[in-house]
């Protein structure tokens, strides 16, 4: 599908503000619908929540249907389904925007830190608290609300295709094959993706780079079952201790990663980009405030912004071994598990990093235990165009909704879909978002900032009009 070069219809400048007014007048209804959406515990990682994930997909398809997307449907995959819908532009020859979202959410984790229940959405002050409210049911819903407002004025200015997946939080394992199988259906000029967050509620943000990811499980096996530490302590090597030593050996003395070859593929940001990144409104104090840590940490020679977006990192995401519940048992555990992940930058290769890690661990491993390493998910980093028509349309949309020019950042997280869109469909993505760093996307008390949600709806209306006119 080719982009049209004809100018927008004469009424675009009246339809656009009318749609925005419509969305504003219906905000209470949208909030109610979003709360309904957030109440569905669509945790893709939890096999017991399969029905709930399916329910969220059905809810979404019905929602699309209700705003006038007649072709909306739920398409099964070997995992969780994909919700798809299409709308034709009012006039032929308009470009096509693929609107991406994911309706699955992170696990809710331990409940104690939550001030209200994760799946009983609670409106407190300017926020809606719920698992998934920020990541990304709120931003996804904003695209629906924007399109609804435009349809209420008669039509949409560009062709729109919605693709909402249910496995983003588990690494989108079935999305690639789906894209492969539906290339024609999904053909589009650009993908709009609001899963990238913003720097601050007052700092509209375009994310032009994303880190890749490699997620792995490391398991050290010791005795065939837990054994008494009084009887075997001193003769049987403790797998939890071995695991701790392996993890410690992944880091060099100065905060860097000690895996041989790890930095080989790393491309450094150039001086222009470093200067731009230095202007971002992220301060050491703001990170301390958001996280409550006593001091920041990281690789020397790079600013916090560079470390969080432009440098590769290694994180221990989970540890479990032996007596992990409330009770103490004097055992040598049979095994010890670490879940770790790397954030990658251009031009690191996920498969290479995974095999570098495995080789390194094997060289470190004592003969007294056994090692099992699993690659769970991997995707490379991407670095987008900062001057494409779609980026310019998004720039002007954010500037209009926030009344200030947007910031350009490299995102710290990875979004596998963005690289798959590019490599499989040849579609580049423009990335923004409505979740701020304090919104606890993967933690307890996740929340959506409602004034930002409202601006988001407005920005989507602007973007779709801008892209039609551009």
Interaction between residue 231 and its own copies (CB under 8 A): yes
Interaction between residue 442 and its own copies (CB under 8 A): yes
CB of 279 to its own copies, least distance (A): 18
Provide the 10 A C-beta neighbour count for residue 374. Answer: 12
294, 300, 387, 403: which one contacts its own copies (CB under 8 A)?
Answer: 294
- Structure tokens belonging to residue 385: 């165009």
Given its phi and psi angles, is residue 299 left (phi above 0), alpha (psi -120 to 50 degrees) or beta? beta
Interaction between residue 43 and its own copies (CB under 8 A): yes
Nearest to 126 by CA among 138, 141, 112, 137: 138
- Which residues, numbered 193-222, are part of the site for its own copies (CB under 8 A)? 197, 211, 213, 215, 217, 222
| Identity of the residue, 157 or 436, whose beta carbon is nearer to its own copies in the bound complex | 436
Given its phi and psi angles, is residue 68 left (phi above 0), alpha (psi -120 to 50 degrees) or beta? left
| Identity of the residue, 183 or 245, whose beta carbon is nearer to its own copies in the bound complex | 245
CB of 384 to its own copies, least distance (A): 16
- Which residues, numbered 295-324, are part of the site for its own copies (CB under 8 A)? 295-299, 304, 307-308, 311, 313-324
Q: What angle do CA 208, 211, 213 make, to 5 degrees?
A: 150
Instruction: Give the integer Cα–Cα distance in Å for 324 and 425.
Output: 45
- Which residues, numbered 357-416, are part of the site for its own copies (CB under 8 A)? 366-370, 376, 411-414
| Identity of the residue, 90 or 409, whose beta carbon is nearer to its own copies in the bound complex | 409
Interaction between residue 170 and its own copies (CB under 8 A): yes
CB of 422 to its own copies, least distance (A): 19
* Cα within 13 Å of Cα(31), Cβ side: 21
Interaction between residue 245 and its own copies (CB under 8 A): yes
Instruction: Give the integer Cα–Cα distance in Å for 139 and 198.
Output: 11
The length of the chain, given as a count of residues: 470
- Structure tokens belonging to residue 64: 């699309």
If you search the block for the tokens 């000029």, which residue do you land on?
Answer: 189
Interaction between residue 236 and its own copies (CB under 8 A): yes
- Which residues, numbered 64-83, are part of the site for its own copies (CB under 8 A)? none
65, 86, 241, 276: which one contacts its own copies (CB under 8 A)?
Answer: 241
64, 89, 218, 332: which one contacts its own copies (CB under 8 A)?
Answer: 332
Instruction: Give the integer Cα–Cα distance in Å for 283 and 387.
Output: 27
182, 339, 386, 392: which one contacts its own copies (CB under 8 A)?
Answer: 339
If you search the block for the tokens 């001091």, which residue do you land on?
Answer: 295
């Amino acid at each position: 599908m080719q982009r049209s070069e004809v100018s927008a219809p004469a009424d675009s400048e009246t339809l656009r503000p009318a749609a925005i007014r419509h969305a504003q007048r219906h905000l209470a209804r949208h909030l109610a619908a979003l709360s309904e959406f957030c109440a569905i515990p669509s945790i893709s990682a939890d096999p017991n929540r399969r029905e709930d994930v399916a329910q969220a997909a059905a809810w979404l398809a019905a929602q699309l249907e209700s705003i006038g997307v007649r072709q909306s449907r739920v398409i099964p995959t070997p995992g969780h389904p994909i919700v798809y819908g299409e709308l034709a532009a009012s006039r032929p020859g308009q470009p096509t925007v693929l609107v991406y979202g994911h309706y699955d959410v992170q696990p809710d984790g331990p409940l104690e830190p939550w001030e209200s229940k994760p799946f009983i959405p609670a409106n407190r002050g300017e926020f809606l608290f719920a698992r998934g409210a920020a990541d990304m049911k709120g931003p996804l819903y904003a695209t629906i609300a924007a399109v609804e407002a435009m349809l209420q004025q008669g039509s949409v200015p560009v062709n729109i295709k919605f693709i909402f997946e249910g496995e983003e939080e588990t690494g989108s394992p079935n999305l690639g094959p789906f894209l492969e199988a539906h290339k024609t259906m999904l053909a589009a000029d650009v993908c709009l993706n609001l899963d990238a967050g913003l720097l601050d509620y007052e700092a509209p943000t375009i994310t032009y780079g994303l880190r890749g990811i490699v997620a792995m499980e490391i398991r050290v096996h010791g005795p065939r079952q837990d054994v008494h530490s009084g009887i075997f302590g001193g003769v049987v090597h403790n797998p939890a201790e071995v695991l701790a030593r392996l993890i410690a050996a992944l880091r060099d003395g100065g905060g860097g990663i000690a895996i041989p070859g790890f930095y080989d593929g790393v491309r450094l940001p150039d001086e222009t980009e470093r200067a731009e990144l230095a202007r971002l409104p992220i301060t050491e104090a703001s990170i301390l405030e958001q996280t409550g840590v006593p001091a920041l940490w990281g690789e020397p020679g790079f600013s916090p912004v560079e470390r969080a977006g432009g440098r590769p990192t290694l994180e221990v995401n989970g540890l479990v071994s032996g007596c992990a519940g409330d009770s103490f048992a004097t055992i040598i555990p049979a095994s010890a598990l670490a879940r770790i992940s790397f954030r990658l930058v251009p031009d690191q290769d996920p498969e290479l990093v995974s095999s570098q890690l495995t080789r390194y661990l094997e060289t470190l491993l004592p003969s007294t235990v056994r090692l099992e390493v699993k690659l769970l998910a991997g995707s490379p980093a991407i670095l987008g165009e900062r001057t494409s028509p779609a980026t310019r349309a998004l720039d002007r949309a954010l500037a209009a909704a926030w009344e200030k020019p947007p910031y350009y950042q490299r995102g710290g997280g990875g979004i596998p879909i963005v690289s798959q869109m590019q490599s499989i469909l040849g579609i580049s993505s423009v990335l923004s978002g409505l979740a701020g760093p304090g919104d606890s996307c993967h933690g307890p008390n996740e929340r959506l900032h409602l004034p930002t949600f409202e601006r988001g709806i407005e920005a989507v209306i602007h973007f779709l009009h801008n892209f039609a006119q551009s």
